Amino acid sequence: MKIAVIGTGYVGLVTGVALAEIGHTVTCIDIDSDKVKTLNHGIPTIYEPGLGEMMQRNMQNARLFFTADYARGLDRARVVYLAVGTPERPDGSANLDYVRQAARDLAAHISHPLIVVIKSTVPVGTNYKIQRLINRLVPEDMRVTIASNPEFLREGSAIHDTFHGDRIVIGTDNPAAAEVLEEINRPFGLPILHTDICSSEMIKYASNAFLATKISFINEIANLCEKLGADVEEVAQGMGLDHRIGPDFLKAGIGYGGSCFPKDTHALVQLAGNHHHDFNLLKSVIEVNRQQQRLLLEKIENRLGGDLAGKRLAVLGLAFKPNTDDMRESPALVMVPELAKRGADLIAYDPIASGRAEQLLGQVAVFTNHVDEALREADCAVILTDWPDIRKMEPETYKRLMKHAIVFDGRNCYSPNEMRRAGIDYYSIGRPNRATEFIF
């Protein structure tokens, strides 16, 4: 089927590539002509494992095209996906300007009736509003049908998630559109859930809010574990064995970041508030997440003192999670300036995101792509992202390279016992630093 995808960011690009891979002919449209130029050279504009090869293969097979020209992109397309950003407004609500603009751009170039699929994460009711917006701008015989098809992929495993996800949700009031979308998605071989439009929009927010809740819950348990001498990793394992709870998203740490959990939890609180519902539970989830960064800073201050002047601190990991170059809402964006404010000389390492991080934090830290360079002669290391190469590092490496082997681990990358045995002064999240018998 001939499909157009508007927006070639993390979601639009992966969606376009995946739809081409299962046999559709896809044209991705983006207003950013530099991005389009890069993509047309076969170079992915984001770091995502497995994306580049799949993209190049489908371009070579003439199933995948990129353009900044709407008329070309929409030519003979039966279905158009909207995958533009919905960032956070200062009041926490979702900014729908990009979605509205893309809808207007689309309306200006429609030459035949289409199914418009909103993949962007949008507040409940937005699909109806966008359908009305487009249909007001086009002649009666060009009216579009709208469908909600939220995206559940995770950055860093986007290709895997697209082909091995748990479900595809299709929300539309139009049975013919539901059938077309079912036909498009059938080759993925994943369970397909058909719902009404509002429920589909809500499934996306509720899912992200629930996952964020799991993380804040385990982080609160971790904070309690530290006080009581329990080990949160063992607690999470024990909880996760109960199939009603499940083992995923129970990894305690410095809190969630990224382009979605923070903005989507805020947007849901706002949406609830607009309808006179005080979403207290979710507000607490957000507050606990904010506190996790404070708590790590407090640990560092308790150990090193509030004045870090003259101390060389190595920050390991800058992206909001491993296997992505995405810095949006990364804990590093708070932690690095806070540590700099306390006078530390900061050298920050990330295997992929150093360049992007430097653009954002270049004033307050020096950046490197080599972990050894960051650790050499450091007084202390602070781990913010659990990249595989950081996880795999031997305790001995810290001991060998650092001036003082003091490590604050915001992602619980290592066994506390092994670190201590190697002579490292090691602080992690939710794992006791003292023998329990001293606590009681």
Ligand X SMILES: O=C(O)[C@H]1O[C@H](OP(=O)(O)OP(=O)(O)OC[C@H]2O[C@@H](n3ccc(=O)[nH]c3=O)[C@H](O)[C@@H]2O)[C@H](O)[C@@H](O)[C@@H]1O
Ligand Y SMILES: NC(=O)C1=CN([C@@H]2O[C@H](COP(=O)(O)OP(=O)(O)OC[C@H]3O[C@@H](n4cnc5c(N)ncnc54)[C@H](O)[C@@H]3O)[C@@H](O)[C@H]2O)C=CC1
Q: Which of 12, 16, 351, 430 binds ligand Y (CB under 6 A)?
A: 12
Output 155 or 233, the one with its CB closest to ligand X: 155
State the number of CA atoms in the 13 A half-sphere of 118 facing the CB: 33
The region of 96-104, 133-141, 308-316, 408-416 touching ligand Y under the rule CB under 6 A is 96-104
Residues 166 to 195 in contact with ligand X, rule: CB under 6 A: none
CA atoms within 13 A on the CB side of 298: 8
Q: Which single residue is written with the structure tokens 């507000």? A: 283
Catalytic residue among 28, 225, 260, 413: 260
If binding is defined by CB under 6 A, does position 152 make contact with ligand X? yes
In this structure, the dihedral spanned by the alpha carbons of residues 292, 294, 299 and 302, taken in order and rounded to 10 degrees, is -160
| Collapsed DSSP state (helix, strand, coil) of residue 283 | helix
Of 8 and 25, nearer to ligand Y (C-beta) is: 8
Side-chain half-sphere CA neighbours of 108 within 13 A: 8
Name the nearest CA neighbour of 196 among 146, 143, 267, 130.
146
Indicate which of ligand X, ligand Y, none lies near residue 51 (CB less than 5 to 8 Å, by partner kind): none
- In this chain, which residue has its C-beta nearest to ligand Y? 9
Under rule CB under 6 A, residue 253 binds ligand X = yes
Site membership for ligand X, residue 398 (CB under 6 A): no
The C-alpha atoms of residue 25 and residue 86 are separated, in whole angstroms, by 26
Contact 30, 36 (CB under 8 A): yes
Indicate which of ligand X, ligand Y, none lies near residue 120 (CB less than 5 to 8 Å, by partner kind): ligand Y
Is residue 198 annotated as a catalytic residue, yes or no? no
Q: Decide if residue 163 touches ligand X (CB under 6 A).
A: no
153 binds ligand X (CB under 6 A): yes
Binding mask 261-280 for ligand X (x = CB under 6 A): x-------------------
The site string for ligand Y over 207-246 (x = CB under 6 A, - otherwise) reads: ----------------------------------------
Sites for ligand Y among residues 23-52 (CB under 6 A):
29-32, 35
Span interacting with ligand X, options 98-106, 130-138, 252-260, 273-281, rule CB under 6 A: 252-260
Edge-to-edge order in the sheet of strand 425-427: 366-368, 345-349, 312-316, 380-383, 406-409, 425-427
Concatenating the DSSP letter of every residue in 187-207 gives: GG---EEEE-HHHHHHHHHHH
109 binds, among ligand Y, ligand X, none (CB under 5 to 8 A by kind): none
Comparing CA positions, the residue from 42, 44, 47, 46 lying closest to residue 57 is: 42
Q: Nearer Cβ to ligand Y, position 154 or 420?
A: 154
At residue 280, φ and ψ (nearest 5 deg) are -60, -40
Spatial CA neighbour of 398 closest among 374, 375, 425, 430: 375
Q: Which residues bind ligand X (CB under 6 A)?
A: 121, 151-155, 208, 211, 215, 249-251, 253, 256-261, 320-321
Active-site annotation, residues: 260
